[in-house]
Structure 1
């Protein structure tokens, strides 16, 4: 969507959505929100605990509710979880309410960045490469369908370089809309 009042980052786990998002928000003078962090704050539980108690379906329900709330806020950068694009309503909200950037990464980059991460429920298991490949096969078409811009990550292995390149692309392509409520929120 262009113009759009907010910027939404999508992509797989380990793409750098949170790290790059914080840097981009600072450079653009926008508030930053990480959807997974907001889920934990609003629920009072960690994501692994939510998965343990409610399963993936319970987590996805919470994710959809908060994505609807946060995507309606004007003038923010929102990093989503890797699976946020699975729900059609989420994809619709992202497309209709903001400018969507898909942070594209390779499985090799994900394996390197997530090598010591033991907190992600969907990454649990003996063969991380196979799991990441399966998730990518399912989600890659949805990322592309939803995105206004595809931005490869991993410039010199630096999130700072990725953020700088993204801001350059945004300055060239994204027309920031007014900081008014999203159309569905205006009355």
Structure 2
């Protein structure tokens, strides 16, 4: 979900693990030389979602690292399957009040540019949570957690999957 900390926690996690941080939306924007919003406007959501799947697949094939995807990417079954086959999905499970607190003063969230942004966020949250709950792993966010604390919680959770992450001595 927007505001869950995908980018901030992902960058911290990648730095701690000594692996690259990859962002599928940034890769799409770089390749298209336009913003996601511009791609949606010019080519439509179906076109964008196809490119998104191609980029996710390429990034998972090319590099070992931490991949952050846009909040809508995980909604597509094909993307969930790709991620689980070539890596592991981790849901940063933040409750609605935490998400709202993080996004309410930002105008960088196009989906929330509505007359009732809290109601919009709540509707998106309620629709997406059942899908996000199918992630391979989940880490419960707390409002008191700093970015580094959340990254540590993710590492602790990843350590439950020795096929993904092993403790170093």
Asked whether the two chains share a fold, i.e. TM above 0.5, the reply is yes
Q: TM-score, normalised by structure 2?
A: 0.88
Residues paired across the two proteins, number: 165
Pair 1:166-2:150 in alignment:
no
Higher RCO (CA-CA < 8 Å; seq separation 6+) = 1
Q: 1:49 aligns to what?
A: 38
Residue 85 of structure 1 deviates from its aligned partner by: 1.5
1:149 to 114, 133, 137: 137
TM-score of the aligned structures, taking structure 1 as reference length: 0.80
Does the CA contact (< 8 Å) of 1:111 and 1:128 recur in 2? no
Counterpart in 2 of 1:6?
none
Q: Is the 8 A contact 2:112 2:120 kept in 1?
A: yes
What is the CA-CA distance between 1:149 and the residue it aligns to? 1.2
Q: Please say if 1:175 is aligned against 2:162.
A: yes
Aligned to 1:58: 47
Q: Which of 9, 17, 21 pairs up with 1:20? A: 9
Residue in structure 2 matched with residue 35 of structure 1 by the alignment: 24
| Unmatched tracts of structure 1, length 5 or more | 1-11, 179-187
Distance 1:119 1:57, change over 3 A: farther
Residues 6-155 of structure 1: matches in 2 within 5 Å?
12-145=1-134, 147-154=135-142
Superposed CA RMSD in Å reads 1.9
TM-superposed CA distance for 1:34, in Å, is 1.1
Structure 1 residues 56 and 124, CA gap change in structure 2 (3 angstroms): farther
